[in-house]
């Protein structure tokens, strides 16, 4: 996957517009969330299909997202300095983070970002952190508290810090 390098005075890091920041703040107001127009605004501004669900804790740092249909993001925090691609029928439980960037160890003012790709029919359970450059295959479950620093293949249950494959799984249809 292609790395994107953000240096001071170079390529500007993506960030939310004032409107995007305002809409994310309005998403936290229960009364406004009940009317549904905030969801429509968030979906439009962040290129999310209307079949996407999220709660008041959802946050995305920049709308570099490609999200499939029937995705539940709950209160996922997404730092998207590189593209984040999420397939169809994915479910995120609570307190998850998707982080596409890290700092250069030799120059902390330089940020290096890599895309993250999550396949179809993936369940990201609770308190999972997904780090730059990771690809998670289709039909996979990531266990609670995992730190996903390397790619995970399709059709497995993986967990731990660092996250690793525990066993193969198959979904009955």
Please list the active-site residues.
103
Q: Which residues contact 113 (CB under 8 A, 6 or more apart)?
A: 3, 4, 5, 6, 81, 82, 100, 101, 102, 132
Q: What is the edge-to-edge ordering of all strands in the sheet holding 91-92?
A: 91-92, 123-124, 141-142, 156-159, 164-168
Distance CA 100, CA 82 (A): 6
**Cβ(55)–Cβ(91) below 8 Å:** no
Q: What does the angle CA 78 – CA 83 – CA 165 come to, to the nearest 5 degrees?
A: 70
């Amino acid at each position: 996957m292609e790395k994107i390098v953000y240096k001071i005075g170079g390529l500007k890091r993506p960030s939310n517009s004032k409107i995007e920041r305002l809409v994310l703040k309005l998403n936290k107001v229960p009364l406004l969330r009940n009317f549904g127009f905030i969801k429509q605004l968030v979906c439009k501004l962040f290129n999310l299909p209307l079949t996407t669900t999220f709660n008041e804790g959802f946050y995305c740092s920049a709308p570099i997202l490609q999200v499939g249909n029937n995705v539940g993001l709950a209160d996922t925090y997404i730092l998207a300095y590189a593209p984040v691609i999420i397939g169809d029928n994915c479910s995120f439980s609570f307190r998850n983070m998707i982080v596409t960037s890290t700092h250069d160890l030799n120059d902390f003012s330089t940020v290096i970002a890599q895309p993250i790709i999550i396949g179809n029919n993936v369940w990201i359970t609770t308190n999972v952190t997904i780090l730059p450059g990771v690809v998670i295959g289709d039909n996979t479950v990531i266990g609670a508290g995992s730190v996903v620093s390397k790619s995970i293949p399709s059709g497995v249950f993986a967990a731990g810090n660092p996250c690793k494959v525990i066993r193969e799984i198959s979904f009955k249809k």
